[in-house]
Amino acid sequence: MLKKIRQIVAALSIVLITLLFLDFTGVAHKWLGWMAKIQFLPAVLSLNLIVVAALIVLTLIFGRIYCSVICPLGIMQDGFAWLGKRSKKNRYRYSKAKNALRYVMLGVMVIAILLGIGSVVALLAPYSAYGRIAQSLLAPLWQWGNNLLASWAESADSYRFYTVDVWLRGGITLGVAVGTLVILGYLAWRNGRTYCNTICPVGTVLGFFARFSLLRPVIDTSKCNSCGLCARNCKAACINSKEHTIDYSRCVTCFDCIGKCHKGAISYGRRRSVPKPAATKTAEPETVDNSRRNMLAVAGAIAATAALRAQEKTVDGGLATIIDKKRPERKTRIVPPGALSIRNVESHCTACQLCVAACPNGVLRPSTKLDTLMQPESSYERGYCRPECTRCSDVCPAGAIRPITRAEKSSTQIGHAVWVKANCIPLTDGVECGNCARHCPTGAITMVPSERNDDTSRKIPVVNTERCIGCGACENLCPARPFSAIYVEGHEIHRTI
């Protein structure tokens, strides 16, 4: 019964989280956005202490139930493990915990957060890994299906659906998503929760607290006949059937062992002391104590990381598809309003791609640079950042893009426009234009005669950088090809105008 309940809740959880990355209408984010904010690592990076404390308390009561019913990557691995069980039953076996590797990977994550190495954080974060898979692989299929429905509806004189552009926002992100799916899928199919119990830093942290959980699977030695069936069905490889012990730091509370035991020797309830054979008493204490010291040291490092990041918090649309426009070379990349600064994005972003999925104008896409790999940045080949849209700031769960109102966004300067004389159509083709000035939402562009003493000469744009907010309307709607005659240069720290 417990296993069935867990499976139903887990299935519902992964479906709803996946909808966050597939939905392009904004409806799912309005009702389900909280599911992204209860993920462990985004909550830590955003200093959402209430969520972090709630997840720790949940673990102290039920064990690593987070890994089985909340974490989408863990639930995905359970799906591949189920396929593996169908091909070969009783496929697992007990293995000792690789604590050294677990703590090394956790230490790497902490150091990456401290140094602001976003690419490392992005590769190790479990929620973000699943987000990239959903956004890069499932979202295009979802959009193609929508467009097919739209065409069928249109043939029936119904316009309940509308077509959307289907495009892959980043080749590197796609490659990482495919690689993650293949590697983790194979590991889970063959060995179950290998990634969760050796690599995942969130699993290591929660595993430490799970050792002291109130409720846990317990082996009744008076009923157990040492058949080993529980161990051969434990995808976490944490049941030692010979010694009748369970490594609770690796147990993900899946209840598979309870369902497989024919003798009813395993139950889920309050922990109780079970006497151990005398031969094992001399070797255990020192190992357990050392692991606790290691975990406490790492926990202190995490707390220090959160404290350092807390100080950073005190710092002060055309939809037309333009295929042939090329991206300009910017000296400073553009991050969306609400990000505060490039450093804030680098320090908090886990590259989950939720903001990329939510952007209705095709402005956000993953970075291809190594130091900011897969983190969002703005580019205006397909659209511009509409002043009334705050979608990315509404959905970000990690604090990389803070919530911002429409009024605040309209006065936030994320960059400034730069005019390129050599590309401007009035000078190159001898025709009137003024597209950039007509569509500037802040009136920061004025058209003036190209010849100072000739009022009848072709007019060219002049940018008032004090009024420009860097929305990219001018760059996007400029008819010059292949490069716009006006483009936006980003600001490292956003300003209010």
pLDDT recorded at residue 301? 56
pLDDT recorded at residue 466? 93
What are the beta bridge partners of residue 316? Answer: none
Answer left, alpha or beta for residue 470, where phi above 0 means left and psi between -120 and 50 means alpha. Answer: left
Contacts of 243 (CB under 8 A, 6+ apart): 276, 277, 280
pLDDT recorded at residue 315? 42
Cα separation of 250 and 24, whole Å? Answer: 37
Which of 370, 310, 357, 359 has its CA nearest to residue 336?
A: 359
Strands (DSSP E) along 357-485, which ranges?
364-366, 376-378, 412-419, 445-451, 454-463
| CA terminus-to-terminus distance, the chain | 59
Q: Which residues of the chain have pLDDT under 70?
A: 271-324
H-type helices in 116-216, by residue range? Answer: 118-124, 126-133, 139-155, 171-191, 194-198, 201-210
- Show the tokens assigned to 72: 């989408």
User: Look-up: residue for tokens 């892959």?
Assistant: 168
Which of 244, 196, 198 has its CA nearest to residue 96?
A: 198
Cα separation of 65 and 206, whole Å? Answer: 10
CA atoms within 13 A on the CB side of 171: 0
Alpha-carbon separation of residue 282 from 95, 276, 279 (angstroms): 21, 11, 7
pTM: 0.83
